[in-house]
Chain A
Amino acid sequence: MGHNVLGSSASRMMKSGQNMNATTPDTGDLALEGGITPLQAVPFRLANGAELAEVNVGWQAYGALNEDRSNVILLCHALTGDQYAAAPHPITGKPGWWDDLVGSGKIFDTDRFYVICLNVLGSCLGTTGPRDANPATNDPYGLDFPVLTIGDMVRVQAAFLEQIGIDQIFCVVGGSMGGMQVLEWTTSFPERVFSAIPIATAARHSAQNIAFHEVGRQAIMADPNWQGGAYYNTGKRPDAGLSVARMAAHITYLSETGLHVKFGRELQDRDAITYGFDADFQIESYLRYQGSTFVDRFDANSYLYITRAMDYFDIAADHGGVLANAWRDTQTRFCVISFTSDWLFPTSESRDVVRALNAAGADVSFVEIESDKGHDSFLLDVPEFHDILQGFLAASAQRRGV
């Protein structure tokens, strides 16, 4: 028989109002627990030496723990993702970002696994970030929030999982920045991770990717409504800047072929060009829509902090400049996945990880999947990708005896 980690009293507690920014989502038959839970391991010391006196963790979990707690799958979300992997988003109401993959009888089978996802440190969906109140002043942190790293995010996750009695993870999986967290887990807590699936990611953020992030940050900071990051109680938000940041980033998640197939040079609700700066083209209209909806669900300062954390990510630098050293003697089973049309985290980045894992003698599979959907392929319906996940998980489960 499975059981929930917090027991019924904790579940009640969360239903009765711990969850401050969301109504409890309706998840149908899916066994679900989660909410916003204070981290007990505080003050929490970050890589830059700063300490957070209070940390809350926003999380969602599906399925039930087995007796020996060996069936935990940890999903790590991407830059603007959140813990609502398979539950409707509390603000947009849209299905979870991996709704197709998480659930009863699905690839991350909640009848079999305890699937948990935590909002990352610095974000804005429940886990402490720059929008939250600084206990020292009771005002929102804004730019007083410490600059954090992917390692900090993962250490918060590890501390939180420990707090709810989970010290072994059957599989940690995630794409993009989620993949960075996966890699970080396997180097920071190798003994806790049985298997790992880093998807469309890299062991370090490339110069090109830092460049794109810098464009986004500058767009936010150039918006007069940003006000040096102290916009929370002013009635104004840097929506224009954040929207432009999202538009630029969104292009990097797609591919040239994908854009051509989906939009081409098609015009938006008109028969001819207008000789003006309206969204004549469908692609313009699409990007504007992406930007405008994003600002309703994401905090501009969180965007600054999390993009920075990705920029600082460099596993080799943490291991004497030699990537293979990061995984020396690792017992974790890896499945590294990339997509042909992903130019943000191209296959060459995954191959560098695989090369290092091979040099370390790790048990590693590496698959490059054909897709014209660009970086976002890991969030989309790509059957071959799903087959790989299924096969790898099944074989890992057999070995682990789950």
Chain B
Amino acid sequence: MSLKPHNGAAGIRADLLEISRMVEPGSRVLDVGCGNGELLDILVNERGADARGLELSREGVNASVARGLSVVQGNADTDLVDYPTDGFDYVILSQTLQAMRDTRECLRQLLRIGRRGIVSFPNFGFWRVRMKLMLGGRMPDTETLDLPWYNTPNIHLCTIRDFVALCDDLGITIEQGYTYTAGGKLVPYGSLWRANVFGDQGLFVLSYDDDVRVATDVAGESPAT
């Protein structure tokens, strides 16, 4: 499979292109919550990846499979345990972490299945979110968080600082960190304070600390095997 230079084609979300560039060409990738397969398409066709998807919505799955992608209809909260340990080089969780029922278990599964995890999520510490809540007294709605509080799948929102603390608790190494500015520009993660105030979204490349990985490998055998 050839690696075509991408042309920044209209309609491709910028953050998906950025994520695809973090994946080594030819890798095995699992995209958890892959929507209608946009990122998978880029990974397969532009990065030559052996990429699979897991998606909850039937419409998303059908659209993906109809365009030739390998996607399974299922629930990440319950189905990640079925995947084999170290089955993938990367497991991607793009804008999905905040909708997971058990966030910690999800991160553990991510790094059991994949040698690296790539996770992006909306930052609740973003200054606009803070201002909306402080000055408006209402639940924030931004471009990234655009659904009203009573009708959102986002049940576990966090700030970048929260996320970093959780990784620390779980023995997860943050290999690379980025934030998206409000303008959608991806910038390398500078100081935590800066990222947590000016980042609209966080994007992290994660792996397990070596000692944690060994312990999880022993405990993390899939029940289905």
A-side residues, CB < 8 A to B, are: 322-324, 333, 335, 351, 354-356, 358-361, 363-370, 384, 387-388, 390-392, 394-396, 398
A398 to B67, CA, bound (A): 12
Which chain B positions have C-beta within 8 A of A355? Answer: 79, 82, 224
The A contact surface, by secondary structure, is: helix
Which residue of the partner chain, among A333, A351, A387, contacts B62 with CB atoms under 8 Å? Answer: A387
Kindly specify which of B8-16, B68-76, B205-213 makes contact with the partner chain: B68-76
Which residue of the partner chain, among B58, B68, B74, B222, contacts A359 with CB atoms under 8 Å? Answer: B222
Q: Are B66 and A387 in contact (CB-based, < 8 A)?
A: yes
Which chain B positions have C-beta within 8 A of A369? Answer: 58, 62
> Please, which residue of chain A has its CB at the minimum distance from the CB of B72?
A366
Q: Are B84 and A395 in contact (CB-based, < 8 A)?
A: no
Which chain B positions have C-beta within 8 A of A367? Answer: 58, 61-62, 65, 73
Which residue of the partner chain, among A322, A323, A358, A392, contacts B68 with CB atoms under 8 Å? Answer: A392
Q: Are A363 and B224 in contact (CB-based, < 8 A)?
A: no
Which chain A positions have C-beta within 8 A of B83? Answer: 358-359, 361
Which residue of the partner chain, among A335, A356, A366, contacts B224 with CB atoms under 8 Å? Answer: A356
Most buried by B among A356, A366, A370, A398: A366
Q: Taking the nearest CB of chain A, how far is it from the CB of B172, in angstroms?
A: 23
Q: Is B52 engaged at the interface, CB distance under 8 Å to the other chain?
A: yes
18 residue pairs from A and B, CB less than 8 Å apart: A324-B225, A333-B70, A356-B224, A358-B84, A359-B82, A359-B224, A361-B87, A364-B70, A365-B65, A365-B70, A366-B61, A367-B62, A368-B58, A370-B58, A384-B62, A388-B66, A391-B67, A391-B68
Interface residues on B, range: 20 to 34
B-side residues, CB < 8 A to A, are: 50, 52, 58, 61-62, 64-74, 79, 82-84, 87, 222, 224-225
A354 to B83, CA, bound (A): 10
Which chain B positions have C-beta within 8 A of A391? Answer: 65-68
Known A361-B83, A366-B72, A368-B73; further 13 A-B contacts with Cβ < 8 A: A333-B70, A356-B224, A359-B82, A363-B50, A365-B64, A365-B65, A365-B69, A365-B71, A367-B61, A369-B58, A388-B62, A391-B68, A395-B68
Q: Are B65 and A335 in contact (CB-based, < 8 A)?
A: yes
Q: Which 6 A-B pairs have the closest CB atoms?
A: A395-B68, A391-B66, A359-B224, A366-B72, A387-B66, A358-B82
Q: Are A392 and B62 in contact (CB-based, < 8 A)?
A: no
Q: Taking the nearest CB of chain A, how far is it from the CB of B220, in angstroms?
A: 13
Which residue of the partner chain, among A351, A359, A388, contacts B65 with CB atoms under 8 Å? Answer: A388
Given A355-B82, A358-B83, A370-B58, is A392 in contact with B65 using a C-beta cutoff of 8 Å?
A: yes
> Please, which residue of chain B has its CB at the minimum distance from the CB of A323?
B224
Given A351-B74, A368-B58, is A361 in contact with B84 using a C-beta cutoff of 8 Å?
A: yes
> Please, which residue of chain B has its CB at the minimum distance from the CB of A328?
B225
Given A322-B225, A360-B84, is A354 in contact with B74 using a C-beta cutoff of 8 Å?
A: yes
Which chain A positions have C-beta within 8 A of B58? Answer: 367-370
Which chain B positions have C-beta within 8 A of A395? Answer: 67-69
A294 to B215, CA, bound (A): 61
Which chain A positions have C-beta within 8 A of B87? Answer: 361
Q: Taking the nearest CB of chain B, how far is it from the CB of A288, in angstroms?
A: 37
> Please, which residue of chain A has its CB at the minimum distance from the CB of B61?
A367
> Please, which residue of chain B has its CB at the minimum distance from the CB of A368?
B73
Q: Taking the nearest CB of chain B, how far is it from the CB of A35, in angstroms?
A: 36
Q: Taking the nearest CB of chain A, how far is it from the CB of B163, in angstroms?
A: 27
Which chain B positions have C-beta within 8 A of A365? Answer: 61, 64-65, 69-72
A392 to B71, CA, bound (A): 11
Q: Taking the nearest CB of chain A, how far is it from the CB of B95, in angstroms?
A: 22
Q: Are B84 and A359 in contact (CB-based, < 8 A)?
A: yes
> Please, which residue of chain B has its CB at the minimum distance from the CB of A335?
B65
> Please, which residue of chain B has its CB at the minimum distance from the CB of A322?
B225
Which chain B positions have C-beta within 8 A of A323? Answer: 224
Q: Taking the nearest CB of chain B, how far is it from the CB of A395, in angstroms?
A: 3
